Every structure is written in structure tokens, then in C-alpha cells.
Amino acid sequence: MANELLTARATKDEFIKSIHTWLMRTLEQNGKSEFKDCFTIEGSSIMCQLPQNYFNLYDIPANTKIEMKFISKKS
């Protein structure tokens, strides 16, 4: 049985889900599971509302938000 052929949009969506899953697993493995709720999928982005104590050696300004935006391109 052949695999389903995804559209460019569906490929991007699956990729984003896989990156988010990997990120959740990595946080868990590194003892940082309390930060899992900081990362959400919003459309074509993974958004992160970083807490001030996210890094061990640095403080982060309050309300800092990081967006990881994904686009798909055909070559």
C-alpha cells in the first residue's frame, strides 16, 4: 500500500506538528517539563511565551515572545 501524497500545506502542517512533538519530548527529557505549556502551535508558527527563568544563567525580560514561523517552498 502506497503512502498518501501530502499537499505542500499538509506537509508543512505535519512538519510543524513533528517539531512541536520533538520539542515537548526534549523538554521532558531535560527536566524542563514545566515549560511545555509555553510552546503552542498557532497556524504556521510555533509560538513561545518565555518565562523569565527559562535559561539557567540569564534572566529574560517579562512578556518576551518568540515566533518560529515555517513556510513551504517548492524547489
Does some domain include residue 1?
A: no
CA triple 15-21-25, angle to 5 deg: 145
Structure confidence by residue, pLDDT tens digits, 5-20: 999 889 999 999 999 9
pTM, entire model:
0.83
Answer whether residue 4 is part of any domain.
no
The total domain count for the chain is 1
20 within a domain of the structure (yes/no):
yes
Q: At a CB cut-off of 8 Å and minimum separation 6, what does 28 contact?
A: 36
Question: For residue 3, is it within any domain?
Answer: no
Q: Is 61 contained in some domain?
A: yes
Residue 2 within a domain: no
Report the pLDDT value the prediction gives residue 45, as an integer from 0 to 100: 96
Domain of 56, in residue numbers: 9-69
